[in-house]
Amino acid sequence: MEEKNFTNEMQNIVLENREKLNISGVKDVLSFDDQIIIVQTTLGLLTIKGENLRVNKLNIDTSDFSIDGNISSLAYSNSENFKEHTSFLGKIFK
């Protein structure tokens, strides 16, 4: 079986009681609302789904990201599927 090596960078995900999520290795926030957040990470796109999701901390310099809410799922996908979208930070600093 062939193993994929995405990057040499580390990524940590800590989910506390399905209510608080801390992620390292975040490059950009592509989309967010109170039910879905899509972030570009060092290991690909990460989609976070839930209810009443709120971004608490976003620091692109240190690659740290933190959210609160009722988190129901986390799923990775390839970044090619989201290339046509403008990033959240790109919209702010346009």
Q: pTM of the entire structure?
A: 0.76
Among 22-26, 44-48, 78-82, the minimum mean pLDDT is found in 78-82
Q: Of 91 and 31, which is predicted with more confidence?
A: 31
Domain residue ranges of the chain, discontinuous segments joined by +: 13-80
Q: What is the pLDDT of residues 32-41, one digit of tens each?
A: 999 999 999 9
DSSP3 helix / strand / coil % (the chain, rounded to 5): 10, 55, 35
Percent of the chain whose pLDDT exceeds 70: 74
pLDDT at 90 over 80: no
Question: Which CATH fold would you assign to the domain 13-80?
Answer: Immunoglobulin-like (2.60.40)
Angle (CA) 69 78 42, round 5°: 70
